[in-house]
Structure 1
C-alpha cells in the first residue's frame, strides 16, 4: 500500500540539529513532552500499517490538515459558536492548538489505555458545552450531527493535506482511512461519521446549505498568523502553510467563506510547502511520536519511512 519516497540519511551533526528543531516544533505544537515510547509493547487504537500512521507522521500535513479541519468546523454555526464561546482560543490560541495537536497524535499513536482515557475526558467535556448561536439556534456539543461533522472535517483535512502536498492517495487508501477510523469515531460519539470517500461527499452535499461566512473565520486565520505555532527558524513557513490549508478546501467552500486572492498560494510558496513536506516525509526523527511509537511496539525506527 505504501509508496513513500526513500529515507534521506543525514550526516550525524545535521541529524542532531534537525532533531533538536523537531523537538522544539513538537513542544510548541503540543506543549508536552509526552513519551510515546512507553509502556513497551502496548498497542495503539490504530495499527502501525494503517493509513493514519503514515499520514500523521508528517508534521506539515498535520499542521495544514488541522487548520483546514478547523476552517470547515467554523463554517458550521453551531460548531463555530460551541468552539468560540466555550474555549480559550481567542486569549490562549497556542495552548488550545497544543491540546488539539496532542489529542490527534495520542488518538493515532498513543498507547491504548492513554488514548481511551483522553477520549473519555474529551467526551465528558463535550457534555458541558451547550448554548445558542449568535443567530439564536440551540446547540449541544454531544449532538451526533455535529460530532459527525467534526470527525469528517478532521479526516478530510489530514487526508487531503497529505494527498495534495506529500503523496497522492488512491481511492482505496482513502476508504481504508475512513474504515480504520470508525472505532475511534464511535468512541467520540460520531456514530454517523463517513465510512468512505463517497459518504464524505454525500455529507458535504447535506451540509452545503449550513456552511456560512463569519468574521470568526477571518479572526481565526489572523490569530494563526500571529501565534508562535512554529519555532523561530521555521516561522517564515507559517503563512504559506495557512494558505495551503485554505487551498485544499472544496472550491465551493472557499467561495462561500469569501476567501480572496490573499489566501491563494503563489507558485513559489506551493513549491516551498511541497518540498518541505517531502523532506519531512523522508527523514527519520527519533523525537517524533510516530518513531517513538514504533519503538514502543518493537518496530524499526524507519518502519514508516520504508517502501512497502
Structure 2
C-alpha cells in the first residue's frame, strides 16, 4: 500500500539540517541511567574518529531507509537495528539515580525504547521548527502519529509510543518529575564524547561549533542538569546564529538541503498495519 503524497514525516526528515537536533536527543537519552549504562557497555562511538563517524552514518542511513525507502529497505534497516539491540543487555554495576545496583536493562525494554523515541521526535521537530519553519499544532500531532509506526518496525507493544505532541511533552515532564533521569559522572563522560568526539586536529573548529550549538540547543532544564555554563550573552548569540542559519537554509537549493531519497520519493511505503515510518538515532 502506498500513500499518494508525502507524509509530514517525509517533509520534516527530508531536511538534512534536522540532524543538528540529534545532540539534544542523545543527551536527553543519556540522562536515563539505563540508557547510559547500555551505551557505556555496548557502544564504540567514543573509541575513535572512525567509530564515531560509522555510528553517525549508520544512524542517518537507518533514518533514510525507514523514511524514504521501499518496504524491503525499511524492513532491512529495522532488522539491523534489532540485531544491534539484541546485544545490548546487562545490569547496573552501581546505583544510578533511583535505580539500584543490579537493575537489569535491555535495548528491547519498551520503556527505554519509548524514551529514546520520545526524545528523538521532540528534538527532530524542535530542530525543524528552529531552522526551517514552525509546524502547525496539527502537523506536530500528525508527525507523532506517523512516527509511532516504529512500534511495528521494532516490535514495541501497540499503543506504547506517543501519538501527539502533548503526549511527547507529558512523557518528558513525567520522567523529570518522577526522578527517572539522573546526570551522573558516567552520563557526563558519555556526553563529553558526544559533544567532543575523537577527531583529527583539522576538525577541531567544527567540533567546537558542534559543541556550542548542541549546548545552546538544549532545553534549560537539561543544560542545568549537565552543569553546562551558559550566559544570557550566549543565549542572545545563539538566537542570532539560529536566525542566520534559518535565513541561509531557506535560500539553498533542494539539492543541498535535502537527502537524495527525499527528492525522488513520491510516497511513503507503509507497514502492513497502515502506519507510516520514521527513523531514530541509535
TM over 0.5: yes
3-state SS of 2:255 partner: coil
- In structure 2, the residue matched to 1:204 is 172
- Retained in 2: the 8 A contact 1:65–1:161? yes
What CA distance in whole angstroms lies between the structure 1 residues aligned with 2:156 and 2:222? 23
- In structure 2, the residue matched to 1:304 is none
Deviation at 1:267, TM superposition (A): 3.1
Residue 275 of structure 1, aligned match among 244, 254, 263: 244
What is the TM-score when the length of structure 2 is the normalising length?
A: 0.76
- In structure 1, the residue matched to 2:30 is 74
- In structure 2, the residue matched to 1:57 is 14
- In structure 2, the residue matched to 1:88 is 44
3-state SS of 2:44 partner: coil
1:68/1:155 CA distance change after superposition, 3 Å:
same
Superposition pairs for residues 1-308 of structure 1, below 5 Å?
49-62=6-19, 64-91=20-47, 92-134=51-93, 135=95, 136=101, 137-191=103-157, 192-208=160-176, 209-227=179-197, 236=205, 238-261=207-230, 265-286=234-255, 290-297=259-266
Aligned residue-pair number: 252
- Retained in 2: the 8 A contact 1:68–1:249? yes
What is the TM-score when the length of structure 1 is the normalising length?
A: 0.70
1:178/1:290 CA distance change after superposition, 3 Å:
same
Superimposed CA distance per residue, residues 52-93 of structure 1 (whole angstroms, 9 cap, x where no aligned partner): 22222322222x211111101100011111122111122122
Give structure 1 stretches of 5+ with no counterpart.
1-41, 299-308
Deviation at 1:47, TM superposition (A): 7.2
3-state SS of 2:90 partner: strand
1:48/1:241 CA distance change after superposition, 3 Å:
farther
3-state SS of 2:227 partner: coil
- Retained in 2: the 8 A contact 1:59–1:280? no
- Retained in 2: the 8 A contact 1:61–1:161? yes
1:114/1:289 CA distance change after superposition, 3 Å:
farther
Give structure 2 stretches of 5+ with no counterpart.
96-100, 268-282
- Retained in 1: the 8 A contact 2:30–2:191? no
- Retained in 2: the 8 A contact 1:240–1:273? no
Superimposed CA distance per residue, residues 231-276 of structure 1 (whole angstroms, 9 cap, x where no aligned partner): x79x745434433333443332332232222898453443234323
